[in-house]
Chain A
Amino acid sequence: MTVDAGPRPDAGSPLAHALHVADNEHAQRVGTAAWVDRELAFGAKVYYKGWLGDDGRVEKHWIAGPEGTRRTREALRSGQLEFLDFPTLIERCAEAPEGLTAGLHRIQAEELDRALAEGWPSVAMTQESSRRELADDAEVAEFARQEGGYDTLVGRAPLRVLCQLNSWVENEVHVFESLGVHHRRVVDVGWDVALEDGRWRLRGDLDAHVARRFGGALAGALREKVTGGDLHMDLTEVGFVDVACAQLLVHAARAEPECRRIVLHDPPRLLRRLLDVLQRPASIEIVDGDRP
């Protein structure tokens, strides 16, 4: 799964705020470089937030080197791409009288407004894995509020956001919560998901390697539906589901209120057998007919 595959999401679409998950640094850079390059090619102003090395020079960051594209390097010189390192960002947010999260939202809104005022047709923002511990519920909630700021901006301007998640630098809580917050659009290793037309459309393979991440996204999708309504999962383009991920579905369904269902549209045939083996609860419903 590559983060730049498929059409560029429409402005205002919830899919315009995506999470790119990678297992290693190389994969993260390849995906991000392709996404940034495409946004630049479409004429977007790009804001990049990340970590710099000890010397604090953006010229030493990978995006300015051979792992970035030529267009990216030119954009750094021309100002189409602006880089802001995390310590500076945190410092500015901390200085904000309204508090850290509100300060972050204000900085993001100012960047967006400035780019549009300069005449850029669209804006793109991407940020590297934040390496936050998310040690308690309060920190998790603040993280969710901060990410929600992107959703607000996406809803009001031609903005596209790519959040990068490096699974090898973040702890399990961070990975799980990050998937939950971004469940509307995730591009992971071997699978992806997009919330479209009220359905949670999954593609690829769901296996033990990504089970915790899938579990995080599933929890996020169910949390969004917590006020009611069923979760419709379109599995038409899912090729494989193993015991670990099937078990997650079963456990999630059992934990939901009785009145709520998880509706699986066109699951792979082996998943049906697997769910039967795992004693599928009645709240998991299977609907056929969409698979071409």
Chain B
Amino acid sequence: MTPEPDAGEPDGGEPAGLLHAAVLSGDPDELARRVEPRVRATLAAGGSVRIVLDRRGARAFRDVLGDDGDRVDFPSPATVASTPPARRLAGLAGTARSLLLGRVCADDPGPDGELGEEAITLLLGDEPATVLCVYDPADRDQRARALRTHPWLLTDDGLRRNPDFRPPSSTSPVPVGLLGSSVATLPVPDGAALAALRERVAAVAREAGLEPERAEAIVLAAHEAMLLASGADLRSDLPPGQHVLDVRVTSAALVTECRGTPPSGTRMGPAPGEDPRFAHLRRFCDRATVHAEADGRLVRVLTGTH
């Protein structure tokens, strides 16, 4: 058996948002036993559980969970592999933190597998969900990727921070393979420029072939994202600053990045978690994340094209 990695610090409190952890395990039965307590706790709290493993792996979980296995969703890995990483939590509609376990990214040895992990970290960062990615510790490449791309590890001893984690860049240049090619950038110096922002996003959405209602929602989300990035509260206009819109397109999603850089000394609006605008804009896209930066905020909004 390959030894556990040099496990980092013990769990010092799980995050309120996404818990993205690698599980290094090559034995389906051992994996099921290790994760069983978390699955049961999630179900007991009212959360949804989805386990994406081959037949052997799924059977191990069914065996260990007994009747509770009937409350778990077991889709086939092929179905999930065709879903963009940032949308893999869709449909997990429990009343509490949900749990997703699988090895779809691990099974993809190419760069898309690693990018998938980074997409989950970047784009699902605010989701109240636990994503457990199973990697084979006997495979050197898989093991290295698991340690590189996961902020947490679920070991025999429980959850631990991963000291080897290398967070993906939340600032430019953003890997093209992760968020798509930049197709439009636009300075948005003040509130009068918001109309131009909407026009630009609408044009990209049209060119991407999105159906009109989805395109309108993307425009609204991008507009609100820029206001949020600038630090404006709900009663204020966009404060003047060096704000920039960047629109990126992949075959699966349209991503708008709004980077707000108010003049130094400007009092920013409420933190995103307390800002009703953030809650509202999330109703009009598939994913939205906020990154605090030294001189402002970056708000990313992702909407699937299908």
A residues with CB within 8 A of B: 23, 189-190, 205, 207-209, 211-212, 240, 242-244, 247, 268-270, 273-274, 277-278
- Using a CB-CB cutoff of 8 Å, which residues 200-246 of chain B contact chain A? 213, 216-217, 219-220, 223-224, 227, 232, 234-238
| Interchain CB contact under 8 A, A207 and B223 | yes
B217 CB contacts on chain A under 8 angstroms: 270, 273
A273 CB contacts on chain B under 8 angstroms: 217, 283-284
| Interchain CB contact under 8 A, A208 and B191 | yes
Beyond A205-B195, A208-B238, 17 additional contacts (C-beta under 8 Å) are: A189-B192, A205-B198, A207-B191, A207-B195, A208-B194, A209-B192, A240-B223, A242-B220, A242-B224, A242-B227, A244-B234, A247-B234, A269-B216, A270-B217, A270-B284, A277-B280, A277-B283
Is B88 in the interface zone, CB < 8 Å from A? no
Q: Assess A23 versus B280: contact at CB under 8 Å? Given A205-B198, A211-B237, A270-B216.
A: no
Is B33 in the interface zone, CB < 8 Å from A? no
Is B277 in the interface zone, CB < 8 Å from A? yes
Q: List 17 A-B contacts (CB under 8 A).
A: A190-B195, A205-B198, A207-B194, A207-B195, A207-B223, A208-B227, A209-B191, A209-B192, A209-B194, A240-B198, A240-B220, A242-B227, A243-B234, A243-B276, A243-B280, A244-B227, A244-B234
Most buried by A among B213, B220, B224: B220
A247 CB contacts on chain B under 8 angstroms: 234
**A284: min CB distance to chain B, Å:** 17
B284 CB contacts on chain A under 8 angstroms: 270, 273
**B242: min CB distance to chain A, Å:** 18
**A172: min CB distance to chain B, Å:** 11
A205 CB contacts on chain B under 8 angstroms: 195, 198
Residue of A nearest to B281 (CB): A243
**A243: min CB distance to chain B, Å:** 5
Residue of B nearest to A24 (CB): B192
The secondary-structure label for the interface of chain A is helix
CA distance in complex: A256, B133 (Å): 54
Residue of B nearest to A244 (CB): B234
Q: Total interface residues on B, using CB and 8 Å?
A: 25
B residues with CB within 8 A of A: 191-192, 194-195, 198, 213, 216-217, 219-220, 223-224, 227, 232, 234-238, 276-277, 280-281, 283-284
B236 CB contacts on chain A under 8 angstroms: 208
Contact of B224 among A190, A243, A278 (CB under 8 A): A243
| Interchain CB contact under 8 A, B220 and A209 | no
A242 CB contacts on chain B under 8 angstroms: 220, 223-224, 227
Q: Assess A211 versus B192: contact at CB under 8 Å? Given A240-B198, A269-B216, A273-B283.
A: no
B235 CB contacts on chain A under 8 angstroms: 211-212, 244
CA distance in complex: A244, B237 (Å): 9
**A274: min CB distance to chain B, Å:** 7
Q: Assess A208 versus B220: contact at CB under 8 Å? Given A269-B213, A277-B283.
A: no
CA distance in complex: A154, B238 (Å): 38
CA distance in complex: A207, B216 (Å): 14
B195 CB contacts on chain A under 8 angstroms: 190, 205, 207, 209
Residue of B nearest to A278 (CB): B280
B277 CB contacts on chain A under 8 angstroms: 243
- Leading 6 A-B pairs by shortest Cβ distance: A209-B191, A270-B216, A243-B280, A209-B237, A277-B283, A208-B237
Most buried by B among A190, A277, A278: A277
Residue of B nearest to A209 (CB): B191
CA distance in complex: A269, B237 (Å): 24
A212 CB contacts on chain B under 8 angstroms: 235, 237
CA distance in complex: A212, B238 (Å): 12
**A96: min CB distance to chain B, Å:** 40
A269 CB contacts on chain B under 8 angstroms: 213, 216
CA distance in complex: A268, B220 (Å): 12
**A191: min CB distance to chain B, Å:** 10
Q: Assess A23 versus B220: contact at CB under 8 Å? Given A211-B237, A244-B235.
A: no
B280 CB contacts on chain A under 8 angstroms: 243, 274, 277-278
**B136: min CB distance to chain A, Å:** 44
**A248: min CB distance to chain B, Å:** 9
CA distance in complex: A211, B227 (Å): 13
B234 CB contacts on chain A under 8 angstroms: 243-244, 247
**A14: min CB distance to chain B, Å:** 28
CA distance in complex: A291, B28 (Å): 60
B216 CB contacts on chain A under 8 angstroms: 268-270
CA distance in complex: A205, B280 (Å): 19
**A177: min CB distance to chain B, Å:** 17
Residue of B nearest to A248 (CB): B235
**A170: min CB distance to chain B, Å:** 15
CA distance in complex: A244, B228 (Å): 12
A207 CB contacts on chain B under 8 angstroms: 191, 194-195, 198, 223
CA distance in complex: A244, B227 (Å): 10
CA distance in complex: A277, B234 (Å): 15
CA distance in complex: A242, B219 (Å): 10
Residue of A nearest to B223 (CB): A242
| Interchain CB contact under 8 A, B219 and A240 | yes
